[in-house]
Amino acid sequence: MKTRTVRRSQLVPHTIDGRTELVLDTYEVAVPVPPRDWDRTVLTTVTTAAALIGAACIVWSTASIGDLLTRVTVAPAAYAAAAVFDLVWLSCMALEWLARYDQARAALPRRAGYVALAIAMAAVGTHGWIADQAAIGIVGAAVSGLAKTMWTVVLRHHAKPLDPRTQQWVDKQRAEAGGRLAMVAVRRELTRAEALVEAERLAISGDSADAPEAPPETPEPEENAPEVEAEARPYGPMTITDAVRTALSTNITDPEAVLRYVRKVADANAKEESVTRTLRMLRKTS
């Protein structure tokens, strides 16, 4: 059995002149080396080779299709568009990789990848046919086909399909998590809508959202109260004007007392300026 030397450390007591302290002691120990995982090594090598094949495929297809498109457009635009052909099916392969535990979700990117591959191969073959090199066009198109085949085999090896019961459990968990995620956006939308409704209400009523709340009233001693506030009318809500008129009719003339009465029977957030202006107007008309 193979071993390897590992340096480790531990705290040990060390005494000098009768005083003991814990100090760090370093030592070496031989630990067994696990056998090499050749399966993982081979899989990593194959995956790396597939990545290199994909990169070479992109270079070849881009050069071939780019040369085809330069016949009708400038070279930068032609080669930029040519890179799309292989990048599309490679992106579909990446999505298929992400869905390797869910065959139902992997089916769509797999089919889309085959369609994109067929279009890329047709474009490469068309380039060879237009250049009077049909054989080279066929061989060039086969490069993309081989790269796609290689990646399909690698993905199938990495894929770990779930049994039907486990797949149903995963789907339910995914749906529940997706529902909670969706509710975040829904609550944000509802909050924004409520804020717009409140802003519209404040704009129509003329009230200010930042108006300070009325301070809690301290009941005055009965002998010091200038007057007794009138009770609220037993019918329907009152407007500020009606509340001020009622206060005046019950001999409540002090502006602060009128304001307290209005906030009590009409609008708890009534502004002092509005009440004062209404009070002056009713006094002039009386």
> What are 31-62's pLDDT values in tens digits?
888 888 888 888 889 989 988 998 999 999 99
**Whether residue 153 sits in one domain with residue 62:** yes
Within-domain flag for 108: yes
Within-domain flag for 222: no
**Whether residue 25 sits in one domain with residue 58:** no
β-sheet bridge partners, residue 8:
27
Q: What's the pLDDT at 116?
A: 92
- Dump pLDDT digits (tens) for 222-240: 444 444 444 444 444 678 8
**Whether residue 140 sits in one domain with residue 58:** yes
Within-domain flag for 256: yes
Within-domain flag for 268: yes
**In terms of DSSP H, where are the helices of the chain?**
38-69, 75-98, 103-130, 134-158, 164-205, 240-249, 255-265, 272-285
Domain encompassing residue 13: 3-32
**Whether residue 120 sits in one domain with residue 28:** no
**Whether residue 108 sits in one domain with residue 78:** yes
Cα torsion at 169, 171, 173, 176 (round to 10°)? -140
How many Å apart are CA 22 and CA 162, to the nearest integer? 54
How many Å apart are CA 108 and CA 142, to the nearest integer? 23
- CB-CB contact of 120 with 89 (8 Å): yes
Within-domain flag for 214: no
Q: What average pLDDT does the segment 68-80 reach? A: 90
Q: Which residue, of 140, 158, 176, is where some domain finishes?
A: 158
The residue written with tokens 């001693």 in the block is 221
Within-domain flag for 206: no
pLDDT at 266 over 50: yes
Q: Taking the complete model, does pTM exceed 0.75, yes or no? A: no
Look at residue 12 and give its three-state secondary structure.
Answer: strand
Here the tokens at position 198 are 């409140």
pLDDT at 112 over 90: yes
**Whether residue 79 sits in one domain with residue 10:** no
**Whether residue 118 sits in one domain with residue 18:** no
Look at residue 22 and give its three-state secondary structure.
Answer: strand
Q: What's the pLDDT at 118?
A: 92
Q: What average pLDDT does the segment 242-247 reach? A: 81
Integer-rounded Cα radius of gyration of the chain: 41
Q: What's the pLDDT at 52?
A: 92
Q: What average pLDDT does the segment 153-179 reach? A: 86
**Whether residue 60 sits in one domain with residue 20:** no
**Whether residue 86 sits in one domain with residue 27:** no
- Domain count of the chain? 3
**Whether residue 98 sits in one domain with residue 123:** yes
Which one of 173-182, 196-205, 216-225 scores highest in mean pLDDT?
173-182
**Whether residue 117 sits in one domain with residue 19:** no
Here the tokens at position 192 are 């924004």
Q: What's the pLDDT at 17?
A: 87
Q: Which residue, of 127, 158, 189, is where some domain finishes?
A: 158
Here the tokens at position 245 are 């008129």
Q: Which residue, of 130, 158, 186, is where some domain finishes?
A: 158
Q: What's the pLDDT at 285?
A: 75
Within-domain flag for 135: yes
Within-domain flag for 168: no
**Whether residue 71 sits in one domain with residue 28:** no
Q: What's the pLDDT at 35?
A: 83
